[in-house]
Amino acid sequence: MDPLESINIKSDSTYILALEAQKRGYRLFHYLPENLIYENGRVAALGNIFRLFPNKKIFFKKFETQKIFLDDYDVVLVRQDPPFNMSYITATYLLEMVSNKTLILNNPKSIRDNPEKLSMFNFKNIIPPTLISKNIERCFNFQKKYKKTIIKPLYGNGGEGISKLDGTNIVLKKKISKLINKYNQPIVIQKYLNEIKDGDRRIILIDGEYAGSVARIPKKGSVTANFHTGGTAKKVGLIRRDKKICHTLKPFLKKNKLFFTGIDVIGNYLTEINVTSPTGIQEINRLNGVKLEKFFWDRVEKKLR
């Protein structure tokens, strides 16, 4: 995962998962993705055994840095944030080498093969009109057709680079060109959904099953609802087509061993399948008086048995 020093213990999902693991007597080890090592036929990591201290200003203690072999552990949680780049891909290849001995969540091959904004194309009947392209003319033609769109980088995260395009003015072509040039990759351009005003629903699925959901309401004047960008949490259950969407995704998630996922739904449409480091557990817990981290580890222990 990312550095322990950087996390917000009031909202971070990895923190609450680690805290529950500690309560169950698990030994916790933390490493940064760049500290994965392959040597002498085994995959190792440089990092630290650590302990958590809830409700304390100094909420963790790391012990001396050491090298461990991942196949000596029962479970490895992949909780690094994207971007999806060659370092990320390399980490999945290394983790795949131990996935027959150690339970890797999520399956490294599957998170490599199913980037957040691409895997939804397996479900064309439940996604909004969407184009992925690096061709400025094709993107602008899509804009002219739908008038109101959302554009975003293909491999961004946390609301990065998202903006709304409104109208067919030639100036919008420059905005499209600017985003393509900035990231030097295809972009996502998607029909704007007016239902965003009611929130972008984050639905947590654990082992393919619905675990909880939260509506992320964008702040005034914003088109991004991510908590990273100032979105606020609102209690919500399964509404509109949510049950159908969850039911549709379940066989795909189970087949690909995508154990812990966070899907994003606006109105009646699936807009992303987050497979690397889904967030939202703490917000769902607070709004509903539940403990999704218990459900998570109960399912993990069942798998280990």
Q: What is 195-295's CATH number, 3.30.470.20, 3.40.190.10, 3.90.228.20, 3.30.420.40?
A: 3.30.470.20
Query: What is the Cα 215 distance to its own chain's centre?
Result: 16
d(C-alpha 29, C-alpha 86), whole Å: 24
Distances (CA, A) of 14 to 79, 113, 187, 260, 305: 7, 23, 29, 12, 23
Mean pLDDT, range 273-278, rounded to an integer = 92
Query: 137 falls in which pLDDT band (50, 70, 90)?
Result: very high
Quote the pLDDT of residue 229. Answer: 61
pLDDT tens digits, one per residue of 50-88:
999 998 889 999 999 999 999 999 999 999 876 677 888
* pLDDT score, position 178: 92
pLDDT at position 56 is 84
Domain boundaries, the chain: 4-106, 129-192, 195-295
- pLDDT confidence of residue 125: 94
DSSP 3-state assignment of 87? helix
Q: Residue 225: what pLDDT?
A: 61
Q: How confident is the model at residue 158 (pLDDT cuts 50, 70, 90)?
A: low
pLDDT at 68: 97
Instruction: Supply angle C-alpha 189, 219, 204, rounded to 5.
Output: 70
Q: What is the second-level CATH architecture of the domain 129-192?
A: 2-Layer Sandwich (3.30)
Architecture in CATH of 4-106: 3-Layer(aba) Sandwich (3.40)
- The pLDDT score that the predictor gives to residue 3 is 93
At residue 303, the 3 state secondary structure works out as: helix
Q: What is the pLDDT of residue 156?
A: 72
pLDDT score, position 264 = 95
Q: 106 with 259: CB under 8 angstroms?
A: yes
Model confidence pLDDT, tens digit, residues 239-263: 999 999 999 999 999 999 999 999 9
- 101-132 pLDDT, tens per residue? 999 999 999 999 998 889 999 999 999 999 99
Average pLDDT (17-44) is: 96
Kindly tell me if the per-residue pLDDT of 163 is higher than 80: yes
Please state the pTM of the whole predicted model: 0.93
Least confident segment among 37-41, 124-128, 215-219: 215-219
- pLDDT computed for residue 218 by the predictor: 84
| pLDDT score recorded for residue 154 | 87
Confidence of residue 188 (pLDDT cuts 50, 70, 90): very high
Give the pLDDT confidence score for residue 80 in this predicted structure. 84
- What pLDDT, on a 0 to 100 scale, did the predictor assign at position 274? 94
- The mean pLDDT of the chain is 93
Q: Which residues pair with 214 in a beta bridge?
A: 202, 235
Higher pLDDT, 138 or 224: 138
